[in-house]
């Protein structure tokens, strides 16, 4: 029986993951990516056990990608440098069966690309190829060159500023811009860990988050988070700050910022905390964006996945893990599917299966800073399973149980084959 012909728009984490999944499900995949892979966002990323479980199943090379375990979270006052709390996450494998990991985004992307390229002839990547439009019912991708390609299944993985989302949900869906933006950059880990002032925070510490925050909330949410990646060679630093007037119209992830911008935002921080930023170069600023849940993830022969459909604030570090969950759900649902009609039925099943989970995670990520009862009652509109209690904090055991105990591949198998 012939396999399905699948077209994927976008080769970010979501698009590459979908390509791996659908190739493993036995189908022929073509990816259309408008860039030339030169500009993967320079940032680090955290992948929860729910995501690393999927990477492991695909044979991802964690060592080559320089993955670091997320072993602890320390919250430190930015002005007095008094340690407020330390949480240890050393039993992840024992409890959830997999690791909680920190990556340089480019390393995660390269590791996924290596798996795509190892899928022999079943995946073809067209770089520098922009998709201008989509006919979701017919499965037609209209390339910017004017060429049209007909597919049995189309995957829309064109990211946060998706233009094709409109073709699936039937209306434009602009992003919401948060009042907060992030400066981000990397420092050589050794430079910071041996620094006379800043070294005290990193020397001989287990890998994980070190977060400095202002308790006097003069400037809501001002905090600096640092964590290692790339096998401990780099320290990623993100400084969340109120968006400045000059940053209000930013659309890109990679807008350049200056050292002066960073230091002026870290005003009032202890000199040892400011020293983490010393002589930082290649600084980028990005305005945080989010969307409320969409009403559908699918239409006809099209599936939305990744940030195109469930863009969320990075509160729980679950954006990329949701893209991985989308992908392995496709792998299970489309294995053995050979006829276009069956593919349409499975597309619909994907929507029923994924929408409650991604909408819940999106709402938890976007509304965590507001009143908890309001956030949870909104989650309830989409999701009727057990949820964390009202007092549960980000990265607490209750949230970890919610995110990490869920085995999406197993749930999808139960759905297709019965429990």
Ligand X SMILES: Cc1cc2nc3c(=O)[nH]c(=O)nc-3n(C[C@H](O)[C@H](O)[C@H](O)COP(=O)(O)OP(=O)(O)OC[C@H]3O[C@@H](n4cnc5c(N)ncnc54)[C@H](O)[C@@H]3O)c2cc1C
Helices (H) and strands (E) in the chain, counts: 14, 20
Which range of residues in 30-38, 54-62, 265-273, 341-349 is near ligand X by CB under 6 A? 30-38
Which range of residues in 41-49, 212-220, 339-347, 398-406 is near ligand X by CB under 6 A? 41-49
- The verdict on 209 binding ligand X (CB under 6 A) reads no
Q: How far is the CB of 11 from ligand X (least distance, A)?
A: 5
Q: How far is the CB of 108 from ligand X (least distance, A)?
A: 8
- The verdict on 324 binding ligand X (CB under 6 A) reads no
- In Å, the largest CA–CA distance within the chain is 68
CA angle 184/293/51 to nearest 5° reads 55
**C-alpha R_g of the chain:** 21
Which range of residues in 86-94, 148-156, 304-312, 337-345 is near ligand X by CB under 6 A? 304-312
The order of strands in the sheet holding 148-150 is 131-135, 140-143, 148-150
Interface residue with ligand X among 5, 7, 8, 15 (CB under 6 A) is 15
Interface residue with ligand X among 19, 32, 364, 399 (CB under 6 A) is 32
Contact 319, 158 (CB under 8 A): no
Q: How many Å apart are CA 190 and CA 408, to the nearest integer?
A: 38
Q: How many Å apart are CA 103 and CA 232, to the nearest integer?
A: 10
Interface residue with ligand X among 111, 139, 159, 228 (CB under 6 A) is 159
Site for ligand X in 358-387 (CB under 6 A): none
Interface residue with ligand X among 130, 342, 394, 396 (CB under 6 A) is 130
For the chain, how are helix, strand and coil distributed in percent, rounded to 5? Answer: 35, 25, 40
Site for ligand X in 45-84 (CB under 6 A): 45-46
Q: Per the structure block, which two tokens stand in for 105? A: 């985004």
- The verdict on 293 binding ligand X (CB under 6 A) reads no
DSSP state of 232: G
Q: Which is nearer to ligand X, 198 or 320 (CB)?
A: 320
Give the contacts of 118 (CB within 8 A, at least 6 positions apart). none
Interface residue with ligand X among 7, 10, 228, 388 (CB under 6 A) is 10
- The verdict on 30 binding ligand X (CB under 6 A) reads no
- The verdict on 111 binding ligand X (CB under 6 A) reads no
- The verdict on 266 binding ligand X (CB under 6 A) reads no
Contact 394, 316 (CB under 8 A): yes
- The verdict on 224 binding ligand X (CB under 6 A) reads no
Interface residue with ligand X among 4, 25, 43, 364 (CB under 6 A) is 43
Tokens 């930023």 found at: 277
- The verdict on 189 binding ligand X (CB under 6 A) reads no
Task: Count the alpha carbons within 13 Å of 331 in the hemisphere toward its beta carbon.
Answer: 22
- The verdict on 139 binding ligand X (CB under 6 A) reads no
- The verdict on 119 binding ligand X (CB under 6 A) reads no
Interface residue with ligand X among 314, 350, 404, 407 (CB under 6 A) is 314
- The verdict on 306 binding ligand X (CB under 6 A) reads yes
- The verdict on 103 binding ligand X (CB under 6 A) reads no
- H/E/C letters for each residue in 81-127? CCEEEEEECCCHHHHHCCCCEEEEHHHHHHHHHHHHHCCHHHEEEEE
Q: How far is the CB of 370 from ligand X (least distance, A)?
A: 21
Interface residue with ligand X among 253, 334, 353, 404 (CB under 6 A) is 253
Q: How far is the CB of 184 from ligand X (least distance, A)?
A: 6
- The verdict on 41 binding ligand X (CB under 6 A) reads yes
Which range of residues in 70-78, 158-166, 173-181, 373-381 is near ligand X by CB under 6 A? 158-166
Q: Which residue is nearest to ligand X (CB)?
A: 12
- The verdict on 6 binding ligand X (CB under 6 A) reads no
Q: Is 393 left (phi over 0), alpha (psi -120 to 50) or beta?
A: beta
Q: Which is nearer to ligand X, 70 or 212 (CB)?
A: 70
Which range of residues in 9-17, 88-96, 294-302, 410-418 is near ligand X by CB under 6 A? 9-17
- The verdict on 313 binding ligand X (CB under 6 A) reads no
How far is C-alpha 131 from the geometric centre of its chain's CA atoms? 22
Extended strands (E) in 291-348: 298-299, 302-304
Extended strands (E) in 168-249: 176-188, 208-213, 223-229, 234-242
Q: How many Å apart are CA 391 and CA 133, to the nearest integer?
A: 45
**Residue numbers at the binding site for ligand X (CB under 6 A):** 9-15, 32-35, 41, 43, 45-46, 130-131, 157-160, 253, 286, 306-308, 314, 317-321, 323
């Amino acid at each position: 029986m012939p396999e399905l012909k699948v077209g994927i728009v976008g080769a970010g984490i979501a698009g590459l993951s979908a390509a791996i999944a659908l190739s493993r499900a036995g189908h022929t995949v073509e990816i259309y990516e408008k860039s030339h892979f030169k500009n993967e966002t320079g940032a680090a990323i955290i992948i929860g056990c729910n995501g690393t479980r999927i990477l492991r199943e695909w044979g991802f090379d964690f060592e080559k990608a320089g993955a670091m375990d997320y072993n602890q979270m320390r919250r430190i006052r930015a002005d007095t440098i008094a340690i407020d709390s330390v949480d240890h996450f050393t039993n992840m494998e024992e409890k959830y069966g997999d690791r909680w990991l920190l990556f340089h985004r480019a390393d995660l992307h390269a590791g996924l690309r290596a798996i795509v390229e190892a899928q022999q002839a079943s995946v073809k990547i067209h770089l520098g190829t922009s998709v201008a439009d989509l006919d979701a019912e017919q499965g037609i991708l209209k390339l910017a060159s004017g060429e049209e390609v007909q597919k049995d299944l189309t995957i829309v993985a064109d990211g946060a500023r998706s233009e094709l989302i409109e073709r699936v949900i039937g209306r434009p869906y602009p992003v919401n811009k948060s009042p907060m933006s992030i400066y981000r950059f990397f420092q050589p880990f050794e430079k910071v860990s041996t620094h006379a002032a800043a070294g005290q925070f990193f020397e001989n510490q287990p890998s994980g988050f070190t977060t400095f925050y202002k308790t006097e909330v003069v400037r809501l949410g001002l905090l600096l988070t640092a964590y290692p990646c790339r096998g401990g060679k780099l320290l990623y630093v993100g400084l969340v700050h109120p968006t400045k007037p000059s940053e209000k119209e930013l659309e890109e992830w990679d807008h350049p910022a200056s050292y002066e911008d960073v230091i002026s935002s870290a005003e009032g921080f202890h000199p040892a905390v400011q020293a983490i930023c010393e002589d930082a170069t290649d600084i980028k600023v990005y305005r945080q964006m989010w969307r409320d849940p969409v009403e559908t993830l699918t239409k006809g022969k099209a599936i939305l996945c990744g940030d195109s459909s469930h863009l969320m604030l990075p509160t729980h570090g679950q954006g990329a893990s949701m893209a991985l969950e989308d992908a392995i759900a496709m792998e299970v649902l489309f294995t053995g599917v050979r006829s276009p009609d069956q593919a349409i039925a499975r597309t619909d099943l994907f929507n029923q299966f994924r929408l409650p989970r991604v909408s819940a995670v999106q709402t938890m990520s976007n509304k965590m800073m507001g009143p908890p009862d309001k956030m949870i009652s909104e989650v309830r509109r989409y999701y009727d399973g057990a949820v964390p209690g009202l007092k549960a904090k980000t990265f607490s055991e209750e949230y970890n149980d919610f995110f990490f105990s869920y085995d999406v591949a197993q749930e999808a198998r139960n759905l297709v084959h019965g429990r």
